């Protein structure tokens, strides 16, 4: 890993929080993600299973975490299984965790080689009454490929059909959205690197630049700051492209008079940042562009102020919709009379603002969440309203990552230029 190691106290505290949700005489199993093939003997870059990472800090393939708080052998209440390393593996693949390094990274004292898993797991299962297994239950997940967790779940239920089985996902949805100070600090670092990328491109953007060249400038700044790169596929969308919500081709020329929408974020230590900014290709917004920009900015600021403990997620989105409604009326895009007679189930503002305002962010860009839980201190959410006007070749979206505190909010992107005038000044300075 190229990022600086995180103190294992984070993972120790995460495990303490996790075991409080387990039923008596239960064990839980977390598998690392697979190494995914490309073609021939090629492999995609490895990305760890976030639940295993959250509880162990181990950022390495072929790893298994077993937690069994009531194991008769105290050494077996937390076990980490890792791939056995050797001098030969080190030569071909690079250094892997040995047992000492695995303990240092995770805070788990009992480390076994992966080859010992079947024997040890069998003995533990015979002591347990309930087995907790993992599965991707994210609301937006579309899974067509069988994962390591999927295979293990099927195999375990075949071998031990008479045990009770429980799902790990509801527990992780409960504990992962509340970020500790260590996590907040890491996410702040990701946001700070994103800021460096944004300030870099303000000196770079001009008519004739290709969208992918802007992407390259961000990538350069992210990589030189110990990031693995983008937290998600970046959107660099100029002109009409900004009205395509998930435009990722980034292959068009930036034309004079257009506005570029850039939805990018750096990943640092597996934690995501998620920023959207819009800048004028020619260095100055037209009056109309600035009016739309400022309308979005007003909604963003109003929405941010609503991120307080106790706010209901659905009520929040409804209130943001009302703010957007007023902004669109002011821009002449919708009419007061039409709004008064609109179908409440399909409000008119959705023609120009068709996506949600906020999502949780953390180890996942769209982090796991429980929608029935009101906003709580320690949650980090994006705030990302937008107005998209295809017939004007104009799309404006603005997005920051915001921590909910007991007193209100703390914007992790507060230092990234946001006001239209500041962006113009920096581009022309």
**Residue 200 and residue 216: Cα distance in Å, rounded?**
11
- pLDDT tens per residue, range 224-261: 999 999 999 999 999 999 999 999 999 999 999 999 99
Beta strand 164-167 with 130-133 is parallel
Which of helix, strand or coil describes residue 409? strand
For a pLDDT cut of 70, what percent of the chain falls above it?
Answer: 99
- Mean per-residue pLDDT of the chain: 95
**Residue 381 and residue 413: Cα distance in Å, rounded?**
12
- Checking if the pLDDT of 320 tops 90, the result is yes
Provide the β-strand partners of residue 16: none
Q: Are 236 and 250 in contact (CB under 8 A)?
A: yes
pTM of the predicted model, to two decimals?
A: 0.94
- Checking if the pLDDT of 143 tops 80, the result is no
Q: Are 407 and 384 in contact (CB under 8 A)?
A: no
**Residue 360 and residue 274: Cα distance in Å, rounded?**
10
Q: What would the mean pLDDT of 196-225 be, rounded to a whole number?
A: 98
Closest CA to 134 of 66, 75, 83: 66
Closest CA to 83 of 59, 67, 51, 49: 59
More confident residue, 17 or 97: 17
Q: What is the DSSP string of 1-26?
A: --SPPPPTHHHHHHHHHHHTTSPTTE
Given this model, what pLDDT does residue 90 score? Answer: 66
Beta-sheet strand order (sheet of 229-230): 229-230, 266-268, 271-272
Q: How confident is the model at residue 219 (pLDDT cuts 50, 70, 90)?
A: very high
Question: Which of 142-146, 155-159, 268-272, 327-331 has the least mean pLDDT?
Answer: 142-146
Query: How many Cβ atoms sit within 10 Å of the Cβ of residue 158?
Result: 8
- pLDDT tens per residue, range 34-54: 988 889 888 888 899 999 999
Backbone angles phi, psi at 89, to 5 degrees: -60, -40
Query: How many Cβ atoms sit within 10 Å of the Cβ of residue 70?
Result: 14
Question: Which of 9-23, 137-151, 375-389, 391-405 has the least mean pLDDT?
Answer: 137-151
Given this model, what pLDDT does residue 175 score? Answer: 97
**Residue 324 and residue 327: Cα distance in Å, rounded?**
5
SS3 content of the chain, % helix, strand, coil (to 5): 40, 20, 45
Provide the β-strand partners of residue 405: 408
Backbone conformation region of residue 269, classed left if phi is above 0, alpha if psi is from -120 to 50, else beta? left
Closest CA to 187 of 415, 401, 406: 401
Backbone angles phi, psi at 215, to 5 degrees: -55, -40
Q: Are 362 and 271 in contact (CB under 8 A)?
A: yes
Given this model, what pLDDT does residue 1 score? Answer: 78
Domains of the chain listed by start with CATH number: 9-175 (3.40.350.10), 181-428 (3.90.230.10)
Given this model, what pLDDT does residue 140 score? Answer: 74
Beta strand 26-31 with 130-133 is parallel
For a pLDDT cut of 90, what percent of the chain falls above it?
Answer: 86
Given this model, what pLDDT does residue 17 score? Answer: 98
């Amino acid at each position: 890993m190229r990022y600086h190691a995180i103190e294992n106290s984070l993972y120790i505290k995460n495990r303490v929080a996790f075991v409080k949700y387990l039923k008596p005489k239960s064990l839980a199993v977390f598998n690392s993600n697979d190494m995914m093939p490309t073609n021939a003997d090629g492999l995609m870059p490895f990305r760890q299973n976030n639940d295993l990472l959250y509880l162990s800090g181990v950022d390495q393939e072929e790893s298994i975490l077993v937690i069994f708080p009531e194991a008769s052998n105290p050494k077996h209440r937390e076990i980490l299984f890792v791939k056995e390393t050797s001098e030969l593996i080190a030569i071909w693949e690079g250094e892997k965790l040995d047992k000492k390094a695995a303990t240092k990274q995770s805070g788990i004292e009992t480390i076994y080689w992966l080859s010992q898993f079947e024997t040890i797991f069998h003995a533990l299962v015979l002591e347990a009454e309930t087995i907790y297994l993992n599965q991707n239950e994210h609301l937006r997940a579309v899974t067509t490929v069988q994962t390591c967790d999927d295979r293990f779940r099927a195999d375990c239920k075949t071998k031990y059909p008479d045990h009770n089985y429980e799902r790990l996902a509801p527990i992780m949805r409960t504990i992962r959205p509340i970020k500790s100070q260590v996590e907040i600090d890491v996410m702040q670092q990701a946001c700070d690197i994103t800021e460096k990328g944004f300030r870099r491109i303000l000196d770079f953007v001009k008519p004739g630049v290709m969208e992918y060249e802007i992407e390259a400038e961000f990538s350069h700044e992210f990589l030189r700051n110990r990031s693995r790169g983008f937290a998600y596929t970046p959107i660099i969308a100029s002109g009409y492209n900004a009205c395509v919500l998930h435009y990722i081709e980034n292959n068009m020329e930036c034309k004079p008079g257009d506005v570029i929408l850039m939805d990018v974020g750096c990943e640092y230590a597996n934690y995501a940042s998620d920023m959207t900014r819009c800048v004028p290709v020619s260095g100055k917004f037209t009056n109309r562009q600035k009016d739309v920009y400022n309308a979005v900015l007003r909604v963003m600021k109003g929405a941010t102020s609503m991120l307080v403990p106790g706010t209901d997620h659905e009520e929040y989105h409804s209130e943001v919709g009302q703010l957007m409604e007023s902004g669109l009326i002011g821009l002449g895009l919708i009419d007061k009379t039409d709004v008064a007679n609109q179908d409440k189930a399909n409000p008119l503002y959705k023609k120009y603002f068709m996506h949600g305002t906020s999502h949780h962010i953390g180890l996942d860009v769209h982090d796991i969440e429980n929608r029935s839980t009101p906003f709580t201190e320690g949650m980090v959410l994006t705030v990302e309203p937008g107005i998209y006007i295809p017939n004007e070749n104009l799309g404006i979206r603005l997005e920051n990552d915001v921590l909910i505190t007991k007193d209100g909010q703390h914007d992790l992107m507060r230092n990234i230029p946001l006001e239209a005038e500041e962006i113009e000044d920096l581009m022309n300075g």
